Amino acid sequence: MDTLFRLVSLQSDQSLNSSRTSSSSRSSRQNPYQQEDEECFNIFMDDEDFSSSSSKHYNPYPHHQLHHHTASNTPTPTTTTTTGSATPTHHHVYDQSANQFSYSPARDVTLEFAASLSGHDSKWASDILLETAKAIADRNSARVQQLMWMLNELGSLYGDIDQKLASYFLQGLFSRMMDSGDRTYRTLISASEKNCSFDSTRKMVLKFQEVSPWTMFGHVACNGAIIEAFEGANKLHIIDISNTFCTQWPTLLEAIATRSDETPYLRITTVLVSKAGGANGGSSGVQKVMKEIGSRMEKFARLMGVPFKFNVIHHAGDLSELNLAELDIKEDETLAINCVGALHSVTTVGNRRDSLISIFRKLQPRLVTVVEEEADLDIGVDGVEFVRGFQESLRWFRVYFEALDESFPKTSNERLMLERAAGCAIVDLVACPQVDSVERRETAARWSHRLQGGGFRPVSFSEEVSDDVRALLRRYKDGWSMVQGSDSTGIFLNWKDQPVVWASAWKP
Amino acid sequence: MVQIEKSASQASGESRFLFSDNHVKSEQSVEPTLPVKKKRNLPGMPDPDAEVIALSPKTLMATNRFVCEICNKGFQRDQNLQLHRRGHNLPWKLRQRTNKEVRKRVYLCPEPACIHHDPSRALGDLTGIKKHFCRKHGEKKFKCERCSKKYAVRSDWKAHMKTCGTREYRCDCGTLFSRRDSFITHRAFCDALAQETALSQPLAITSPGGVMKLQVVAPLVAAVVSSPPPPPLTPSTGMWSPVLSIQSSELPENHIPQLPPPPGAAAPFPGAPTVTASNSSTSSGNVPGNGGVLASIFNVSTSAEHPHTAQPPVASYSTMLCTMTGPDQHVIDPMSLSLSSTLYLSSGSSSLLYPAALGHPHRHYTPTPQPALSATALLQKAAQMGATSSNSSFLHGLGLSMIPPPDPQDSRNSAIAPSHWSNTTHVKLENNSVASGLGLGLPSSNSPASFNELMMNSSSLFGNKPATLDFLGLGMGAGETSAGGFSAFLSSITDGLDMTTSNSFAGVGSTMDTWDYPSDRKPSML
């Protein structure tokens, strides 16, 4: 029987068994394989054993595993027993499954990655994952299974970067195989939203800003550009479509309060986009958080003496379908649109991104600021396109995880939350239909092209703003730098010479 | 006299109370009578009789334009050059001091778009206008290598360099920040801020036309001084009442019921009578007189006696405010009371106007409860930020007290500066010399001119050392120049405040000399 078929046939069981599904995703630390460990042949044994072993896997494991794999693939049974020191159950399981794979390809999967696994500076997760993606594209189900099994064994949400990548991407690939991307995504989101409180959100966002310029980079650049664009205006309105929970605004408020001319009137309308049909219970959590944030913004503005009005619009569905009337833009307001990580949430299907930009154009803002993560994650549906996109995702998330790794202390709850959010994004990218995807980042060049096509021209950041950004980066650990974009379209935040975030400003 | 002004034109999205003791009469010699109602109070409120001088940008930017033909040494003033020429045995001529009063001069900013281009807003001294022009309309040539902040005025930059990176911002929650923007962001999200305002509830006083600003000018002499004056803090304040900039939204909700319709809604109402009693608990030990008997030190026990339970602070506020405004009973949330300006005000004014103060009963208020204090910390910080990044300073607040407020900028400043009103308004009927000693090197304290500078032109006071506008009370720049002394003074205030709240005042203020120049003290922010 074909394994893929078995995997697919599983879905029906799962959908009947809804309680299992939800329990399996009550937190992302549990591996999706749990869903199938009984229905499918018992490759994966029981859950407890699996999870306990994966947490033990931390450092020495890959090495050990390597031995084990090589050993177990040799026909002599004696080697199997000799390696059974730390995780005997696994050996057993592996042997069993290996025996069952009568149709497994002749090539030795583990040997294939031996070098990668043993190498000091290896990126074994990327290697194996990429192979898995290729196998999926080739519809080589046996190989897919083997590789996935391997990933499952090696990966851990609490391990090093490779283990984490293995784990999160495996989740994505598995959901893809199961065609359950949507459901996995939803359960992940609702799980994270269940834990979402003002407190935890604040902690996460502020901690992230404290240790890494990842988001602050965009904030400083955009605020600088916005303040300059607003010079002289006395009724300001910022349409804020961002994912940083208004942490951008206190410094802007302060800057406005200390502006040399008269303190202007400021409105901020924050648009929060959630996936259409997303878990409603979850978004109420977000609404609560935003309400609290709003009241704090108002208090702070009062403190700063800035006449201020704050409004939140919760928009379910694609951003390009936003009801503009809700924004309540007044004639006499000077408008700025601040998009931080917003554009990539628009679906890539059907020109929606361009149409959103032309909607912005119609609003006649004085300035549009765009901050996007620099990656090309438009993962294709299938075949080579899929592999290419998958590879880029691997690259991107590795950079991201590495940046997190070097910024945060080893055991940081906030970091774990950020990684889980990245895990969600990975599921979205790898397993969800393109139409629903909210994570498909594009490169600065592509965005620039779109924005220029939409009737905007780039505004380069002033020397002062660039100085501010550079000053910001100096406070963080080494490795961060600012690089001017080509053709004066914005600036990049580089991490170890890889551009990771792009900030830009645009005028109609 | 209490006046309320409604200025609906201030479309500020909120309403504010601005309390100000108006002490016009005693100041009239130095300060032109100002209409009690004024929409704006920006620096530069010159004497109408003053000679208005417009200097060219070149002159303003010029450094050392008086050059010695022998040695090419440049001087900023002709007088100095003349003195120098003496050394070369060249003919020299010092301008003779003209008889009696020199006519006061005020200076215009040459920048047409600038508010100080208008003669009515001219600045009161030459240094002030130079620095103003340089800061606002000049190139920022001086850059801090560390944080890349730029300054147009060298002294600003130098002062910044001294403190850049060394400063820590401490939030009420105990978290320390070395970076200003992190601190700001944290502050906006911190529970400490939320708690401070938790009591208060927005009081909507929105007129159809927008938002109004309420301006209540409190009677000059409100309450009788009760317990001994606050020592290190305020030399004397009686007359300079603070400018309290309050946003009506901060009114504690539990007091709203007692309130008559928001004052702003009413037409200006008759001045409140002089209030005779202050908060009962504090006034219990009332020392009657103006006679300066109050040598006893501020006795913190008074404040300590205040149970710091939920009720009392509020109660004392209300008392206090009732005291202030008389029958009208405006109650203001502590947080929005602008303490800082009061402080600075009193310090500035004490030496200058002390004699006048003697003739007046003084006011005594209860110490502010804790929460407000923490607001101070924040806002002192915020204010400091503002002070260095722009012209605005708490001296606006100073000016405010004389000149009925609400310039948005000023009120912002004072709003930024939170509230420990009470502490600062403890009046000290110490002897005059102490008071002037407390003037801490404010420029020539008794001359009307300097007074004018102080009141009219923030930059003239702080101009010399803008960065010593250390309202944080961190006292870093303290002690260098007059402004430094001022800052030292402020820091002492902060110290005092802290102590007050911690009820550990013991003896600190007991002798004046102990707090004369406590510049080395680094107050801890709450």
> What is the ipTM metric for this complex?
0.72
Percent of chain A with pLDDT over 70: 75
| Residue B452 clears pLDDT 50, i.e. is over it | no
Structure confidence at residue B54 (pLDDT): 82
Of B244, B205, B403, nearest in space to B332 by CA: B244
Tens-digit pLDDT profile for residues B398-407: 333 333 444 4
Please tell me the distance from the alpha carbon of residue A380 to that of residue A384, in angstroms, as a whole number: 8
pLDDT score recorded for residue B359: 40
d(CA A282, CA A274): 10
Extract the tokens encoding A364.
Answer: 């006649």
**pTM summary value:** 0.53
Distance from CA of B432 to the nearest CA of A (A): 36
Beta strand pairing status for A334-340 and A367-373? parallel
For B117, which DSSP code?
A: G
State how far the Cα of B157 lies from the Cα of B163, in Å rounded to an integer. 10
**List of chain B residues whose C-beta atoms are within 8 Å of the C-beta of residue A209:** 182, 185
- Whether A251 sits inside 8 A of B390 (CB atoms) is no
* Tokens standing for residue A260: 């040399």
pLDDT band at A200 (very low <50, low <70, confident <90, very high): confident
In which band, very low, low, confident or very high, does the pLDDT at A499 lie, cut at 50, 70 and 90?
very high
Cα A283 to Cα A270, A272, A274: the distances in Å are: 15, 10, 8
Q: Is B502 on the interface with A (CB under 8 A)?
A: no
Is residue B386 within 8 angstroms of chain A, CB to CB? Answer: yes
Work out the pLDDT band at B44, boundaries 50, 70, 90. low
Using an 8 Å CB-CB cutoff, list residues of chain A that contact chain B.
202, 206, 209-210, 216, 220, 247, 249-251, 253-255, 257-260, 262-263, 265, 293, 295-297, 299-300, 302-309, 464, 467-468, 470-472, 474-475
**DSSP secondary-structure letter at B95?**
P
Distance from the Cα of A298 to chain B's closest Cα (Å) equals: 9
Residues B3-21 have pLDDT tens digits of 443 333 333 333 333 333 3
Quickly state the pLDDT bin for B165 (edges 50, 70, 90). low
Strands (E) located in B94-147: 105-108, 142-143
Residue A488 confidence (pLDDT): 63
**A299 contact residues in B (CB cutoff 8 A):** 188, 193-194, 197
| pLDDT at res. A449 | 92
> What is the spatial distance between Cα A46 and Cα B266, in angstroms, rounded to a whole number?
77
Helix (H) or strand (E) holding A471: helix A463-474
Q: How far is B211 from chain A (nearest CA, A)?
A: 10
pLDDT of res. B52: 81
A439 vs B493 pLDDT, higher one = A439
Distance from the Cα of A479 to chain B's closest Cα (Å) equals 18
Arithmetic mean of pLDDT, B50-66: 77
The interaxial angle of helices A249-257 and B370-389, nearest 10 deg, is 70
What's the DSSP call for residue B495? H
Q: Once rounded to an integer, what is the mean pLDDT over residues B194-218?
A: 40
